[in-house]
């Protein structure tokens, strides 16, 4: 290819530095470019691509405020705005391992580090152009997401024994694994590895071994891949999964930590890190990984308010589980800071009533501080709004379980949409709280049942003690509160002239658990009846 490498090519430079734009434009013009456009931000680049396609995009990794180059590439692919023949080249002045590896994992067509020479840039572009021209039908099939056609085209290209057969073998095996054609994938990988221990083939064989639940073989292959390239983040991922599958949790954690340090901007990796950290009850790592998920997605096509909500939920969950008061206070402060920060990020709040979410979070924090009545009062004030706020329903469930309103929490859980529960972190938060609640609810149920039994036997003093113990576990539980009131009224009736002022006050205080709260019909009628009995007794006592 002659010096006019970029002749008749539509080129887009995405960089927030005007000086670099002009300098780079000069280089491109000397390479034959005459149609060069500029975009200082990822958002503007996305808009330009939506209005017309470009043959080559040179994108700086760091673009100031907004999307970075990696996020722009994700968006363009997701929206099908990057044509199969187009070349996407990341450009950056930073060459740290996490930055480079995170970019390489997304597989742009190439990656160049500033400063670079015109000759290097030209040779890189020419190499990619040759590949995309020769494999045009394959790139189109990949673009159209037609795995069966991709497999056929790869097989045809491999038979030609051309210069791209190794690339086609890798793409072929990846699509065979995606379509669960494991035996065919194994034959190709075994043949390839018998000739040469290619890194991609070793990794895919490790992945295949994991998928076939041959974890020992997977671990051996992962070790080989990592020894060959210590920055092979995906090999650490598979190693972590294999260790996790055989119950070697500490080793799994070391592996996923290594992967996250090499290339942290990967969502499945951060979810796996959270899963393993929870197995080890490593609370700080869970919070950090949840925050990383939020940061990864907040400017990308994968932006979803659930990542923001989960980050804050994870911090509150950490505060609930923290034994050390100082550590708990640090988490409480982090919740407040996160809530304040989010208020400045209006784009993240458009899909939810953030004020309502914040109220529920504050109520959970108040409950942690012992202000159970105030926490329940907040729930009562917003209960009617929750039906329309599906994204926030989990937080109401968390709050109700936290204050011991197990019955209402169970009813509300049934209203949480299934698609919302498909998020792995939210599902884990639910599962973990339910595990804790199940244990507490069992103890609560035993005490409440014992109190009912004592009541039926006429042992009202013991019944009061047992219902009080039940309320210690579930301080705002309506059913136990009504049981305690009912047993207390019977005790007051029995005492006659020796009616206790202390018992009256305790009964009055217990009514606060139920007063002005949204109640199911069976609790509402019972509450009304008990309140009338109590008022009648109080009038008699005043005489």
Task: State residue 298's pLDDT score.
Answer: 78
pLDDT at 400 over 70: yes
Q: How far apart are CA 425 and CA 306, in angstroms?
A: 10
Tell me, rounded to whole angstroms, the distance of Cα 107 from its chain centroid: 23
pTM of the complete model: 0.82
The per-residue DSSP string of 450-471 comes to HHHHHHHTT-HHHHHHHHHHHH
Residue 41 near residue 68 (C-beta atoms within 8 A)? no
pLDDT at 413 over 80: yes
Of 55, 53, 59, 57, nearest to 20 by C-alpha is 59
Residue 130 confidence class, pLDDT cut points 50, 70, 90 = very high
Structure tokens at 497: 């002239």
At 194-224, the pLDDT tens digits run 999 999 999 999 999 999 999 999 999 999 9
At 225-283, the pLDDT tens digits run 999 989 899 999 999 999 999 999 999 999 999 999 998 888 999 999 999 999 998 99
Query: How long, in residues, is the chain?
Result: 543
At residue 37, the 3 state secondary structure works out as strand
**What residues contact residue 357 under an 8 Å CB cut-off, 6+ apart?**
309, 391, 392, 395
Q: Are strands 110-113 and 87-92 parallel, antiparallel or unpaired?
A: parallel
Residue 106 per-residue DSSP state = T
Most confidently predicted of 30-39, 65-74, 199-208: 199-208
Task: State residue 4's pLDDT score.
Answer: 58
In the chain, the N- to C-terminal Cα span, in Å, equals 108
Residue 62 near residue 85 (C-beta atoms within 8 A)? no
At 221-239, the pLDDT tens digits run 999 999 998 989 999 999 9
Q: How far apart are CA 158 and CA 201, in angstroms?
A: 15
Mean of per-residue pLDDT scores for the chain: 90
Structure tokens at 439: 């244990």
Give the least confident one: 12-21, 110-119, 396-405.
110-119
pLDDT at 496 over 70: no
Other C-beta atoms within 10 Å of 373: how many? 17
At 433-489, the pLDDT tens digits run 888 888 889 999 999 999 999 999 999 999 999 999 999 999 999 999 999 999 999
pLDDT at 80 over 60: yes
Phi, psi angles (nearest 5°) of residue 234: -65, -30
């Amino acid at each position: 290819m002659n010096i006019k490498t970029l002749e008749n090519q539509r080129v887009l430079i995405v960089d927030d530095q005007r000086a670099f734009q002009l300098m780079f434009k000069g280089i491109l013009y000397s390479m034959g470019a005459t149609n060069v456009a500029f975009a200082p931000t990822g958002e503007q680049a996305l808009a330009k691509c939506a209005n017309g396609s470009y043959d080559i995009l040179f994108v700086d990794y760091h673009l100031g405020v907004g999307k970075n180059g990696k996020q722009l590439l994700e968006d363009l692919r997701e929206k099908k705005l990057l044509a199969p023949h187009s070349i996407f080249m990341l450009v950056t002045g930073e060459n740290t391992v996490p930055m480079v590896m995170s970019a390489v994992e997304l597989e742009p067509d190439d990656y160049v580090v500033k400063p670079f020479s015109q000759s290097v840039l030209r040779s890189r572009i020419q190499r990619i152009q040759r590949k995309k021209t020769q494999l045009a039908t394959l790139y189109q099939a990949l673009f159209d997401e037609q795995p069966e056609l991709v497999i056929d085209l790869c097989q045809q290209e491999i038979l030609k024994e051309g210069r791209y057969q190794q690339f086609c073998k890798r793409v072929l095996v990846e699509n065979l694994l995606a379509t669960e054609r494991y035996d065919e994938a194994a034959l190709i990988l075994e043949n390839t590895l018998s000739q040469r221990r290619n890194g991609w083939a070793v990794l895919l064989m490790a992945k295949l071994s994991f998928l076939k639940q041959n974890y020992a073989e997977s671990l051996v292959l992962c070790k080989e891949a990592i020894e060959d390239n210590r920055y092979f983040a995906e090999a650490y991922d598979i190693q972590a999964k294999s260790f996790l599958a055989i119950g070697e949790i500490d080793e799994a954690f070391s592996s996923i930590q290594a992967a996250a340090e090499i290339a942290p901007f990967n969502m499945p990796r951060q979810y796996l890190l959270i899963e393993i950290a929870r197995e080890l009850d490593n609370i700080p790592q869970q919070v950090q990984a949840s925050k990383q998920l939020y940061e990864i997605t907040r400017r990308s096509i994968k932006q979803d308010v659930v990542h923001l909500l989960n980050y804050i939920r994870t911090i509150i969950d950490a505060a609930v589980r923290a034994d050390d008061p100082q550590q708990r206070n640090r988490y409480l402060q982090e919740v407040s800071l996160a809530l304040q920060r989010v208020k400045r990020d209006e784009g993240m709040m458009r899909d939810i009533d953030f004020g309502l979410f914040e109220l529920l979070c504050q109520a959970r924090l108040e409950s942690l501080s012992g202000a159970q009545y105030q926490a329940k009062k907040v729930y009562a004030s917003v209960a009617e709004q929750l039906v329309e706020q599906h994204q926030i329903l989990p937080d109401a469930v968390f709050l109700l379980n936290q204050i011991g309103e197990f019955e209402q929490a169970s009813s509300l859980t049934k209203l949480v949409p299934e698609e919302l529960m498909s998020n792995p972190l939210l599902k884990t938060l639910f599962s973990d709280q339910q595990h804790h609640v199940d244990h507490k609810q069992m103890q609560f149920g035993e005490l409440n049942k014992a109190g009912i039994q004592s009541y039926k036997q006429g042992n009202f003093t013991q019944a009061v003690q047992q219902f009080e113990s039940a309320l210690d576990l579930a301080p705002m539980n309506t059913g136990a509160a009504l049981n305690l009131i009912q047993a207390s009224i019977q005790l007051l009736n029995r005492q006659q002239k020796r009616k206790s002022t202390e018992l009256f006050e305790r009964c009055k205080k217990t009514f606060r658990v139920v007063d002005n709260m949204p109640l199911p019909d069976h609790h509402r009628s019972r509450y009304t009846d008990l309140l009338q009995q109590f008022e009648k007794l109080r009038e008699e006592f005043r005489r």
